[in-house]
């Protein structure tokens, strides 16, 4: 579903640039409908400009916007947004991709515009991201989905309080998989592989596992590989001994949730 009205992207850092790349790739937002506000030059913003996007125009241009996307650092959003408020039109929707900043906090600083929170992963840049969406306003929620569904597997959250947990699992989760892949490679090296071979095997295994996953239950996927009495089952037993895998993962997600709330 294409969004055919003006979209303002405020912030073009790592996540903002990923969102912009995804919009251009999937044609969710046409470049000529984009306004990008960024204090510094960004390659993806310049690519969007070449296709018709407006970069840092006069603020009066914001009055025509259907949605204002806040992709700035959580600690900076008030100082960035406050000067823009007099130029926002009555029908604008505020869409935040900032971790930890709640809708009540946004409403306190911004005012009465409808708010939708979306937490996407940077995989949206390739049209293969994940996004969690929450809003108390049905129209704002639908707009959030329209902007991200073409480039992300999108889930609705029933409560805003769940956004921190969704962020810890999906927003941060790719880094956890990469960290495990690195640890797997180093374990292979310790078992006798040279470092380069261990890296190739660990990376390729992560890609292969992701491609093969589909929608089957995770227990079924595990059982297809880990036959009783086999080497894979022995490894899994070692990984989960004394509940350490579950405990470690719970601690990891809980730490990320706490940090999200601190940043808000």
Q: Show pLDDT as tens, one digit a residue, over the chain (264 residues).
A: 457 789 999 999 999 999 999 999 999 999 999 999 999 889 999 999 999 999 999 999 999 999 999 999 998 999 999 999 999 998 899 999 998 899 999 999 998 899 999 999 999 999 999 999 999 999 999 999 999 999 999 999 999 999 999 989 998 899 999 999 999 999 999 999 999 999 999 999 999 999 998 889 999 999 999 999 999 999 999 999 999 999 999 999 999 999 888 876
User: Which two three-digit tokens encode residue 110?
Assistant: 């911004």
Give Cα 189 distance to the centre of its chain: 32
What's the rounded Cα separation, in Å, for the pair 160 and 264? 13
What's the rounded Cα separation, in Å, for the pair 87 and 215? 45
What beta strand segments (E) does the chain contain?
A: 6-10, 34-37, 54-55, 65-70, 93-96, 115-120, 129-134, 152-156
- Number of Cβ within a 10 Å radius of residue 181: 18
Strand 129-134 to 115-120 pairing: antiparallel
What's the rounded Cα separation, in Å, for the pair 102 and 261? 9
* 37-42 contacts at long range (C-beta below 8 A, 24 or more positions apart): 37/8, 37/9, 37/10, 37/11, 37/84, 38/11, 38/12, 42/12, 42/17
Sheet containing 65-70: which strands, arranged edge to edge? 54-55, 34-37, 6-10, 65-70, 93-96, 115-120, 129-134, 152-156
Q: Are 138 and 85 in contact (CB under 8 A)?
A: no
- Number of Cβ within a 10 Å radius of residue 120: 26
What is the pLDDT, as a whole number, of residue 2?
59
Q: Is 59 exposed, middle or buried (0-12, 13-18, 19+ CB in 10 A)?
A: middle
What is the pLDDT, as a whole number, of residue 264?
65
Nearest CA-CA partner of 132 in 101, 159, 154, 164: 154
Residue 186 Cα distances to 93, 172, 190, 197, 203, angstroms: 47, 22, 6, 10, 12
**Residue linked to tokens 């880990």:** 226
CATH class of 173-263: mainly alpha
Domain boundaries, the chain: 6-160, 173-263
**Which of the four CATH numbers 3.30.750.24, 3.40.50.1980, 3.20.20.210, 3.40.50.720 does domain 6-160 have?**
3.40.50.720
């Amino acid at each position: 579903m294409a969004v055919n009205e003006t979209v303002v992207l405020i912030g073009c850092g790592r996540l903002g640039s990923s969102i912009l790349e995804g919009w251009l790739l999937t044609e969710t937002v046409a470049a000529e409908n984009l306004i990008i506000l960024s204090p510094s030059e960004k390659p993806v913003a310049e690519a969007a400009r070449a296709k018709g996007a407006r970069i840092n125009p006069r603020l009066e241009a914001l009055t025509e916007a259907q949605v204002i996307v806040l992709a700035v650092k959580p600690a900076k959003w008030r100082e960035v947004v406050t000067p823009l408020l007099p130029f926002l039109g009555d029908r604008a929707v505020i869409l935040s991709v900032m971790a930890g900043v709640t809708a009540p906090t946004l409403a306190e600083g911004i005012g009465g515009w409808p708010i939708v929170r979306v937490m996407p992963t940077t995989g949206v840049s390739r049209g293969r991201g994940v996004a969690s969406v929450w809003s108390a306003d049905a129209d704002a929620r639908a707009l959030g989905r329209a902007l991200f569904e073409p480039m992300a597997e999108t889930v609705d959250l029933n409560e805003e309080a769940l956004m921190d947990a969704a962020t810890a699992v999906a927003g941060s989760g790719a880094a956890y998989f990469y960290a495990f892949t690195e640890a797997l490679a180093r374990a292979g090296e310790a078992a006798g592989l040279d470092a380069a071979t261990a890296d190739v095997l660990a990376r390729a295994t992560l890609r292969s596992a992701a491609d093969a996953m589909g929608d089957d239950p995770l227990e079924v996927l595990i059982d297809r590989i880990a036959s009783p009495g086999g080497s894979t089952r022995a490894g899994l037993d070692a990984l989960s001994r004394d509940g350490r895998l579950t405990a470690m993962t719970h601690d990891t997600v809980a730490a990320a949730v706490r940090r999200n709330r601190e940043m808000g």
